[in-house]
Amino acid sequence: MSIAEYDYTIIGAGPAGMAAAITARKHGLKVLVLDEQPTVGGQIFRNIEGLEKYRNSEFHKLGAEYLSGSKLVQQFHNSGVVYLNGRSVWQIDRDLGIHNVSTIPTDQKSSVPQFCKTKNLLIAVGAMERPMPLPGWTLPGVMACTAADVLYKSSGMIPQGKVVLAGSGPLLLLIASRLLDAGVKISAFLDTTPRGALIQALPYLPQALRSFGYLKKGLEMLWKLRTSGIPIYSGIQAIEALGNSKLEEVRFKKGMKHQEVSADLLLLHNGVVPNVQISRQLACEHSWYDVQRYWEPIVDDWGNTSMARTAVAGDCGRVSGAVISEISGHLTALDTVRQLGAITLKERDKLSLTLRQTLKNHQSARPFLDKLFQPTQNLIVPNKEDVLVCRCEEVTVREIRETVRLGFQNPDRLKSMIRCGMGPCQARMCGLTVSEIIADEKQISPEEVGYFKIRSPIKPITIGQLAEND
């Protein structure tokens, strides 16, 4: 059987992936896009086509940024790209052989090729929420806050009962404001942003004013929240989810005082971090971004990583939101087009001039936002010893600390001793916390500690699927 070969394979059909595909097609490349989700749009434009078609009034409620996605999706579909949805990439070889499977169990013997080769690769898999380990976060009824957004966009469902939001970050504000718009009664908003964060961020404000749109949007959301009449608690610490087989109560500390509110649903958020599973599996070099406390692949101005012919674009690099992701998708594709000889260096630079200017404008607010919404430190390393860090293998803070004290001081050695990071999520939910706990225990930076070595398969596959893969 002949192996399918492409000039450019893009993983992820969010704003960055779609933009890159459009630009690459414009210059005649043979482009494949593999996306894990059932429909295009990534998380930000999730179910955009379904909403436009069947729930048009809600579609318009989601705001101008969401509406702009519709144009991008249309250009994407008309670009002549080969787009495969519902495909999970589980391994990428050093020579850019790409192994993938269908996410749909009944579809595993489909005719879609499960292996292909590509000249250049773009990783555009987006970001994920930073794990927010706290007592009781594995109880049914506790969810990541974007889960509420997913349910709203893809299924038209909204939370009911006693809904509590907790954490910090622009996304938490956005989701709170969406829920309010949808008529959800929020029982409590627990803001963990440390007092003083604003003062630390102030030096970056003048620069941020250049892209006033972001700040205006943020202020509007804050205003909506403040005037909504929902109970807002600021400077919150020591959040605990309590209940037997499901969430019943949320306990927290404000000042010196502990309080409880009863809850059916607790939505957590402590910022967004790049999804680095694929760039790590490929052994791209990563560096530690201390302000936001996450790893990001090291890239040049065009998104090229340390691995030849491999680039990243969008929030799986530095987390920057949909608009910047889209621009970075166009830019990285232009350089790929150049690498493959379809345009010259000069043409690339000329074609990217306007994009660079727009990018610069949009990026000016980021240092301010990143500083203002730094992840809350006491939510990164739980101060209670019996909190589960690794949800899959059920490993606690105590076990990790004790094992570090025994001398197992890097994530991989810990993994082989106590199985943290060995479950199906492959450290997506515990990796950052494990590095932070080791760093805390040794009083060094997570950068020195390092991260788990991410090995194939990065998505669980069956032995049968592995056997079929030749």
Partner 1 sequence: MFKKQYESHETVTIIFEGKSLDVGIGQTVAAALLGEGHLIFRYTRVSGKPRAAYCLMGVCFECLLEINGQRNQQGCMIPVSDGMKIKRQMPPKGKIQ
- Interface residues with partner 1 (CB under 8 A) are 36-38, 43, 47, 50, 54-55, 58, 86, 88, 103-106, 128-129, 138, 140-144, 146-147, 150-151, 154-161, 182, 245-246, 264-265, 275, 391-394, 423-425, 428-429, 460, 462
Q: How far is the CB of 454 from partner 1 (least distance, A)?
A: 14
Our CB check for partner 1 shows the closer of 158 and 197 to be: 158
Q: How far is the CB of 261 from partner 1 (least distance, A)?
A: 16
Residue 43 beta carbon to partner 1: minimum distance, rounded to whole angstroms: 6
Q: DSSP states of 77-124 as a string?
A: HTTT-EEE-SEEEEEE-TT-EEEEEESSGGGTT-SS-SEEEEEEEEE-
Query: In the complex with partner 1, which residue's Cβ is closer, 97 or 161?
Result: 161
Least separation in angstroms between CB 134 and partner 1? 13
Q: For the range 299-308, what are the long-range contacts, defined as Cβ-Cβ under 8 Å and sequence gap of 24 or more? A: 301/331, 302/331, 302/332, 302/334, 302/335, 303/122, 303/328, 303/331, 303/332, 303/335, 304/332, 304/335, 305/123, 305/279, 307/282, 307/283
Q: Give 281-322 as a 3 state SS string.
A: HCCCCEEEECCCCEEEECCCCCCECCCCCEEECHHHCCCCCH
Contact 410, 447 (CB under 8 A): no
Q: Which is nearer to partner 1, 157 or 444 (CB)?
A: 157
DSSP string of 13-54, one letter each residue: -SHHHHHHHHHHHHTT--EEEE-SSSSSSTTTTTTHHHHHHH
Q: Which two tokens stand for residue 242?
A: 């309590």
Closer to partner 1 by Cβ: residue 218 or 382: 382
Pick between residue 225 and residue 420 the one whose CB is nearest to partner 1.
420
Least gap, CB of 300 to partner 1 (angstroms): 28
Minimum CB distance to partner 1 smaller for 106 or for 111? 106
Q: CB 457 → partner 1: shortest distance, Å?
A: 12
* 284 vs 302: CA distance, rounded Å: 15
Whether residue 286 contacts residue 276, with contact meaning beta carbons closer than 8 Å, is answered with: yes
- Nearest distance in Å: CB 339, partner 1: 30
Which residue, 307 or 461, is less far from partner 1 as judged by CB? 461
